[in-house]
Amino acid sequence: MTDATQPPSPFTVDDLSAQALQAFEQVVSTTAGFRPRLGQHEMAELVAQTLSSGDLGEHPNPLKSIAVIQAGTGVGKSAAYASTAITLALLRKTRVIISTATVALQEQLMQKDLPALSRAMPLPFSFALAKGRGRFVCKIKLERLAGNGSAIEELFDDAPAMVKPKAFAGQEDPLERRFKLYDTLAGLLAANAWDGDRDNLALPPDPSDWATVAAERHSCTVRHCPRFRDCSYYNARTKLAEANVIVANHDLVLASLGMKTLPELDNCLVVFDEGHHLPAVALDQFSSSMDLSNLRWLDKLPKTMQEVATRMHLHLGDDVNTVTTQLKGVLTQVARMAMDLVWAQTGREASGEGIDGTLRFANGVLPEELKEPVGQILAQATGLSKALETLGTNVKALAKEDPSLAVLASQMYARLGGLAPKLGSLVSTSTLLLEHGEQPLAKWLQASSGGGYLTMTAHACPIVPGDLLRQFLWSKVRAAVVTSASLTSCGSFDYFLHEAGLYGAPHVQAREVASPFNYAAQGQLTVVHTKAEPKDANAYTSEMVALLLKDIAAVKRGALVLFTSKAQMRAATDALPPQLMDRVLVQGTQSRAKLLAAHTARVEAGNPSVLFGLQSFGEGLDLPGMLCETVFIAKLPFAPPTEPVDEARAEWLRSTGVDPFNALVIPATGIKLLQWTGRAIRTEDDQAQVICYDKRLTQTAYGRRMLAGLPPYQLGKRETTYLR
Query: What 3 state SS string does 262-313 have?
Result: CCCHHHCEEEECCHHHHHHHHHHHCCEEEECCCCHHHHHHHHHHHHHHHHCC
Rounded distance, CA 380 to CA 464, Å? 30
Residues 456 and 487 in one domain: no
Q: What is the mean pLDDT of residues 368-396?
A: 96
Shared domain check, 334 and 250: no
CATH number at residue 573: 3.40.50.300
Residue 192 has pLDDT above 80, yes or no: yes
Q: What is the rounded average pLDDT of the residues 368-392?
A: 96
Q: What pLDDT does residue 452 have?
A: 66
| Neighbouring-strand partners of residue 655 | none
Q: What is the DSSP string of 492-533?
A: BSHHHHHHTT-TT-TTEEEEEE--SS-HHHHEEEEEEE-SS-
Same domain flag for 365 and 448: yes
376: Cβ contacts below 8 Å, ≥ 6 apart: 326, 327, 330
> What is the tens place of the pLDDT at every residue in 118-170?
999 988 999 999 999 999 999 999 988 887 645 555 544 544 433 344 444 45
Q: Is residue 482 part of a domain?
A: yes
Contact (Cβ atoms closer than 8 angstroms) between residue 683 and residue 623: no
- Of 238-242, 316-320, 631-635, the poorest mean pLDDT is in 316-320
21 lies in a domain? yes
* pLDDT recorded at residue 599: 97
pLDDT at 613: 96
pLDDT computed for residue 533 by the predictor: 96
Q: Say whether both 154 and 228 belong to one domain.
A: yes
8 in any annotated domain? no
Handedness of CA 543, 711, 466, 667 (dihedral sign): negative
Same domain, 386 and 476: no
| Phi-psi label, residue 442: left if phi above 0, alpha if psi -120 to 50, beta otherwise | beta
Helix H segments across 173-214? 174-190, 207-211
Least confident of 45-54, 173-182, 275-284, 435-444: 173-182
Q: What angle in degrees, to the nearest 10, is found between the helix axes of 368-401 and 420-434?
A: 150
Question: Cβ-count burial of 476 within 10 angstroms (0-12 exposed, 13-18 middle, 19+ buried)?
Answer: middle
What confidence tier does 219 reach under pLDDT thresholds 50, 70, 90? Answer: confident
Domain range for 699 is 519-719
Asked whether residue 700 is assigned to any structural domain, the reply reads yes
Q: Does residue 360 lie in a domain region? A: yes
Share of the chain above pLDDT 70, in %: 93
Residues whose CB falls within 8 Å of the CB of residue 563, separated by 6 or more in sequence, listed in order: 569, 572, 612, 613, 614, 634, 635
HSE (CB half, 13 Å, CA atoms) of 170? 0
- What are 329-369's pLDDT values in tens digits? 999 999 999 988 988 876 655 444 556 789 999 999 999 99
pLDDT of 5 reads 54
Distance CA 182, CA 438 (A): 50
Residue 618 has pLDDT above 50, yes or no: yes
Beta bridge partners of 99: 248, 272
Q: What's the total number of domains in the chain?
A: 4
- Is 70 exceeded by the pLDDT of residue 323? yes
Same domain (yes/no): 613, 668 = yes
pLDDT of residue 346: 65
Q: Which of 643, 650, 640, 581 is nearest to 609 (CA)?
A: 581
Proportion of the chain above pLDDT 90, given as a percent: 77
Report whether 52 contacts 20 (CB < 8 A).
Answer: yes
**Does 371 lie in the same domain as 434?**
yes
Domain check: are 325 and 435 in the same one? Answer: yes
Cα gap 260→269, rounded to integer Å: 16
pLDDT of residue 258: 86
Out of 448, 479, 513, a domain closes at: 513
Q: What is the mean pLDDT of residues 248-261?
A: 93
Residue 409 lies in a domain: no
602 shares a domain with 663: yes
Tell me: do 574 and 670 sit in the same domain.
yes
The CA distance from 479 to 53, in Å, is 7
Specify the pTM. 0.91
Q: What is the DSSP string of 24-80?
A: HHHHHHHSTT----HHHHHHHHHHHHHHHHS--SS-SSPPPEEEEEEE-TTS-HHHH
Residues 121 and 211 in one domain: no
> Residue 481 falls within a domain, yes or no?
yes
Task: Kindly state whether residue 117 falls inside one of the protein's structural domains.
Answer: yes
- For residues 299 and 385, membership in a common domain is answered with yes
Q: Which of 480, 498, 513 is the last residue of a domain?
A: 513
Burial class (CB in 10 A: 0-12, 13-18, 19+), 575: middle
Whole-angstrom Cα Rg for the chain: 28
Residue 598: pLDDT over 90: yes
**Is the model's pLDDT at 67 over the cut of 80?**
yes
Residue in 227, 383, 397, 224 with CA at minimum distance from that of residue 312? 397
Burial of 656 (0-12, 13-18, 19+ CB in 10 A): exposed
Residue 695 φ then ψ, to 5° = -70, -10
Confidence category of residue 723, pLDDT binned at 50, 70, 90: very low
Q: 161 with 453: CB under 8 angstroms?
A: yes
pLDDT given for residue 9 in this prediction: 63
